[in-house]
Chain A
Amino acid sequence: MMNEGLHMNQALPLFVAIPLGAAFLIPILVRVWRRLPDIVGNLSTLSLLVMSLTLVGKGPSTYYMGGWRPPLGINLVADGLSVLLLVVVSLVAFCATLFSIPYMERYTSKSRYYSLFMLMVAGMNGVVLTGDMFNLYVFLEIASIASYALVAFGTEAEELEASFKYMIMGCVASTFVLFGVGVLYGKTGTLNMAHLAKIIDENGMSPAIWFAAALFLMGFGLKAAMVPFHAWLPDAHPSAPAPISAMLSGVLIKSLGIYSLARVSYIVFGMSKPISTIFMVLGGLSMIVGVLLAVGQWDMKRLFAYHSISQMGYVMLGLGLGTPLGILGGVFHLLNHSAFKSCLFLCSGAIEHEVGTRELKKMGGLWRRMPVTSTSCVISSLSISGVPPFNGFWSKLIIIVAAIQARHYVAATIAVVVAFLTLTSFTKVMRYAIFGSPAAESQKVKEAPALMGVALILLALCCTSFGLLYPVLKPLLLGPATDVLLRAGDYISLVLGG
């Protein structure tokens, strides 16, 4: 059997192999030279970024692990959606490792940090690339377990508590996912996503398959911190070191949560009315609850964390609409959110590094003392609030227009109101942290170290350019990603051939 138009890409396994190898090399190399973890960590994320960029615009490709063809073997598939996620993961991971070089100096064991970081990246890349349900679960666990340890990295009481809470809820979610995989396997006798999709397409959704869908919705929904399952996020994300917060909010909840949910419900089950309604309800709920909880926060990172819930709601809403424009808005907002949210978290890290606090009331007047950090913080704040011409505005606009076109006026209204509330809450951040009169703590602060600044500038540039580069991004990244979800049937013929 030949796969028309689907070429083998020998580089695909390297997306998992490079970070995995780096993860185990780093603890050994640190014995040779103290600086080697920094170098190896940054080189691996840089190589991943370059490799992911080479996949852009190439069309879908695949890889058979060990030469075993699906449905028997495990295959990796890099279609439009996977490539988009790969680029996002690699971009944020590169900026986070760059930021880590000066930032992680104050923690004791940098090599362990990089080791866990690389394991998390390997897990996320694996989740994004795999075409096999059980393999997805395995990579999901690799990324999750690494993230539990990273949340607790500071080993203070608060961090351990947050990590424990995150771990318990994350384990419950993983178990649900595993259970769902088991139900699917028992019912269909296969684990390959394309083969599963084919069987479900031919036989229709039986009650057992619906049950599996519900299990996945709960499991991946918890990883994505959708509102009834969001309780772990506001504790876990602020407790982690800043680059990890950026990774967790910027990409982990997307690749383990939103991506997996979209992949499973669109490709494997086939999008149907009940699932899309649930997507929209969860999305709407997350948007409102997340932003309402965020407005009252005075802890900078906690405020950002609540906004992650609310912004993920936008993505879910867009995906739930199911129209071409809605999905496009959803994936575009996913890309944008990863840029501005990781930038915001890195800014909070830079401020915490210099001022020594996360309390908004203890900051103030930072724009005089920390111009680079303040500028990137303002840019990313304006982006997340949806102020034109920054990237957040365009994706929110697309989602709102798509909701109106699909006659979901309530959803559109919610999206508009939440955008205003987001602006309100980020006005607070700018008023207290960046502008305003300096508090006692921020009288004598200096600008953050140069490498932190470089990471911030990179992400701030992404925030400003993604919106304006939309005509370039659409055919290269966003269009292919949208097509994957819109034409789910293509995936089956692409992977299984004919």
Chain B
Amino acid sequence: MKGMSLIVRTIARVVTTFIILYSAYIVVYGHITPGGGFPGGVILALGIMLLMLAFGKDLPLRKLPEGRASVLDCLGALGFWAIALLGFTAGYFFLNFLGKGEPFRLVSAGTMPLSNIFIGIKVGVSLFAVLTALSVYRRFYPPGEEPPEED
């Protein structure tokens, strides 16, 4: 499959920018508005899914090869893990050790925004990997029952 029609591709190209921007907003403002790392990450992955549907599965895989996705995925998780561990420096695992700042400001709530960003990376890239896996690996056929090759 080499993607969809010109109209779909053009719209998808424009809209994807906004979807990714929106996902960044959801992640970064996660601690003061509804949202956070997980929903933001899901939106990010859905933006990439739109690209995949419009342009075929090769384009996103060219931009973010599987190996690099795996590393990013692990780094997201490790970042979150490191923040939890850094809590030990102030006495407790998972302690919010940074200054809390003024409520409802973008830079506030200590480690929360940082955790959200790492979760956003982790969830976004993981779902991207799941989507590519779903599009790359076909249905499983028992030996002897493979369907004819399709283009």
Contacts and interface: CB of A to CB of B under 8 A. Distances in A.
**A, B bound:** yes
Interface of A: 10, 13, 17, 20-21, 23-25, 27-28, 31, 63-67, 157, 160
Interface of B: 67, 70-71, 74-75, 77-78, 81, 84-85, 87-88, 91-96, 140, 142-143
A10 B84 CA distance: 13
Contacts, number: 45
B80 to A, nearest CB: 9
A66 B142 CA distance: 50
Given A17-B85, A23-B77, A27-B71, 9 more contacts: A10-B88, A20-B81, A24-B78, A64-B92, A65-B94, A66-B87, A66-B94, A67-B92, A157-B143
A25 B142 contact: no
B137 to A, nearest CB: 10
> What 3 A-B pairs have minimum CB-CB distances, sorted nearest first?
A13-B93, A66-B94, A67-B92
A65 B92 CA distance: 7
A115 B71 CA distance: 13
A67 B88 CA distance: 10
Nearest to B90: A67
Nearest to B141: A157
A213 B80 CA distance: 35
Contact of A157 (B78, B85, B140): B140
B126 to A, nearest CB: 11
Contacts of A31: 67, 71
B74 A17 contact: no
24 contacts: A10-B88, A17-B81, A17-B85, A20-B81, A23-B77, A24-B74, A24-B77, A24-B81, A25-B74, A27-B70, A27-B71, A27-B74, A28-B71, A28-B75, A28-B78, A65-B92, A66-B87, A66-B93, A66-B94, A66-B95, A66-B96, A67-B91, A157-B140, A157-B142
A172 to B, nearest CB: 22
A25 B78 contact: yes
A67 B78 CA distance: 22
A57 B67 CA distance: 46
Contacts of A27: 70-71, 74
A17 B93 contact: yes
A466 B94 CA distance: 38
A294 B94 CA distance: 47
Contact of A65 (B71, B81, B93): B93
A156 to B, nearest CB: 10
A63 B92 CA distance: 9
A14 B77 CA distance: 16
Contacts of A20: 81
| Residue among A10, A24, A64 with most chain B CB within 10 A | A24
Contact of A17 (B75, B84, B96): B84
Contact of A66 (B81, B85, B92, B143): B92
